[in-house]
Structure 1
Amino acid sequence: MYYWYYPYYCPGCYYGPVYPSVRQYPPVDPDFFHQSANEMKKLMQDVSLVLDKLADSKEFDEQVMHAAQVADQEEVERLIESAGISSAVEITFNPDNIRLEFSSKIEGEDCCHISIALRWR
C-alpha cells in the first residue's frame, strides 16, 4: 500500500518545483496619469460649481426643471453652463432625474469623466 503526502495519488504525475514565469513589463510613464489627475481636479471644481448653484437657488432649480419638462435641451444646457463651468458636459434628463457627464481630454484623448445624477421626483 502506498501512502502519498499529497491530497491524492496520481501515478505518473510530476510534482516537482514550479517556477513562476518571468514576465517583462514595459517601464511605466506616469505623465499621462498625472495629467489625468490634474484634469480630474478641474472637473471636480466644475461639478462643485453646478452643485453649489443648484443647492443655493430654488429659482434656478425651477428654471432647470421647467426647461427639462418641456424638453428644451438647449435651455437646460445654457442654464447648467451659466454656473461658470469650463468643461465639456453632456446633459440628459427624463421626468425623474437629470444626469450630467463631465469629461475632459488631453491632446485629443479622453482622460477622465465624472457622472452625477440628481433626482427631482
Structure 2
Amino acid sequence: MNPYQNHHPIYYTPYMLMPVNSLQYQQQTASRQYPDVSTKKFQDSSQTYQNLINDSQVISQRFAESRKLRRKVMRAAQKSDHNKVVHLIQNTGISHPIEVSYNPDSIRVTIMDVEERPTSKLIMALRW
C-alpha cells in the first residue's frame, strides 16, 4: 500500500500552477519602474523614536527603582482607576503623551509622538 496515495475520493492533493511562460513573467516584473525614494520621513521618524526610547527608559527605571510607584500603579489598575494609572506614569518625568492598557497579567504603555502627523510610537509591555 502506498502511504502517499489519496484514499479519500473527496479530497485531492493540491498542486501549484506555474505561469505559462515563467521567463515572460520574470521579465515583466523586472521591468517595473519604481519612483525614487525619499528618506526624509524615515529620518524624522528615527530621530523621534530616539526621544521615545529616552522616555521609555525613564519609565522603566522609575518602575525598577520605586516599589512605592509600582504598588500605586498596580493598586490603581486593580481598582480600574485608569486616569490615576496614566497620571502616575505621566508624572515619572516623561515628555510625550501615553496610552495605557492593563489586565491582571500585564501593563502596556504606548508612548506617542507629539507631532501633528505622528511618525513613531513605542509600545512597552511589562508583566506584573
Q: TM-score range by the shorter chain?
A: 0.7 to 0.9
| TM-aligned CA deviation for residue 14 of structure 1 | 7.3
- Picking from 100, 118, 127, the partner of 1:119 is 127
Q: Aligned letter for 1:37?
A: S
Tell me, yes or no, if structure 1 residue 100 matches structure 2 residue 109.
yes
Q: Percent identity of the aligned residues?
A: 31
- Picking from 29, 48, 52, the partner of 1:43 is 52
| TM-aligned CA deviation for residue 84 of structure 1 | 0.9
Query: Matched residue of 1:111: which SS?
Result: coil
| TM-aligned CA deviation for residue 105 of structure 1 | 5.2
| TM-aligned CA deviation for residue 110 of structure 1 | 2.9
| 2:97 corresponding residue in structure 1 | 88
| 1:79 corresponding residue in structure 2 | 88
Q: Aligned letter for 2:27?
A: P
**Normalising by the residue count of structure 2, what TM-score does the alignment of the two structures yield?**
0.75
Q: Aligned letter for 2:121?
A: H
CA deviation map 1:89-113 (0-9, x unaligned): 110111221111112154x223112
The runs of 5 or more residues in structure 2 that have no matched partner are 1-19
Change (3 A) 1:84 1:42: same
Change (3 A) 1:33 1:14: closer
Q: How does 1:56-67 map to 2 (within 5 A)?
A: 56-67=65-76
| 2:6 corresponding residue in structure 1 | none
Q: Of Structure 1 and Structure 2, which has the larger fraction of its residues in strand?
A: 1
Q: Of Structure 1 and Structure 2, which has the larger fraction of its residues in helix?
A: 2
The runs of 5 or more residues in structure 1 that have no matched partner are 1-12
Query: Matched residue of 1:74: which SS?
Result: helix
**Normalising by the residue count of structure 1, what TM-score does the alignment of the two structures yield?**
0.79
In 1, Cα distance between equivalents of 2:95 and 2:66? 21
Q: Is the 8 Å Cα contact of residues 106 and 125 (structure 2) preserved in structure 1?
A: yes
Range that drifts further, 108-117 or 56-65: 108-117
